[in-house]
Amino acid sequence: MIISASRRTDIPNYYSEWFFHRLKEGYCYVRNPMNARQVSRIPLSPEVVDCIVFWTKNPAPMLARLKELEPYPFYFQFTLTGYGSDMERNVPHKKQVMIPVFQELSRRIGRERVIWRYDPILFNGQYTPEYHLRAFEQIAGQLRGYTLKCVVSFVDMYAKIRKNMETLQRISLTGEELVAFAGELAVIAEGCGMKAVSCAEAIDLAACGIEHNSCIDRELIERLAGYRIQAGRDRNQRKECGCVESVDVGAYDTCKNGCLYCYANASLNRVLEKSRLYDVNSPLLCGRVAEGDNILERKAESLRQEQLTLWDM
- Estimate to the nearest angstrom the gap between the alpha carbon of 32 and the chain centroid: 19
Inter-CA distances, 49 with 22, 38, 53, 152, Å: 13, 22, 11, 28
Q: What distance in Å separates the CA atoms of residue 297 and residue 3, rounded to the nearest whole number?
A: 16
Look at 198 and 118; give whichever has higher pLDDT. 118
Nearest CA among 177, 223, 182, 184 for reference residue 199: 182
pLDDT at 212 over 90: no
What is the pLDDT averaged over residues 109-130?
Answer: 96
Q: What is the pLDDT of residues 245-278, one digit of tens each?
A: 999 999 999 999 999 998 899 888 999 999 999 9
Find, among 180, 138, 130, 159, the residue nearest to 262 by Cα.
159
pLDDT at 159: 58
State percent of the chain over pLDDT 90.
Answer: 75
Q: What is the pLDDT of residues 68-77, one digit of tens each?
A: 999 999 999 9
Checking if the pLDDT of 310 tops 50, the result is: no
Q: Is residue 143's pLDDT more than 60? A: yes
Average pLDDT over residues 110-114: 98
Give the confidence band of 175 by pLDDT, cuts at 50, 70, 90: confident
The pLDDT assigned to 208 comes to 85
Residue 219 burial (CB count, 10 A): 10
Cis peptide bond prior to 6, omega within 30° of 0: yes
The residue-averaged pLDDT of 87-112 equals 97
- Parallel, antiparallel, or unpaired: how do β-strands 51-56 and 74-79 relate? parallel
Banded model confidence at residue 313, pLDDT cuts 50, 70, 90: very low
Q: What is the pTM of this model?
A: 0.93
Model confidence at 158, pLDDT cuts 50, 70, 90, reads low
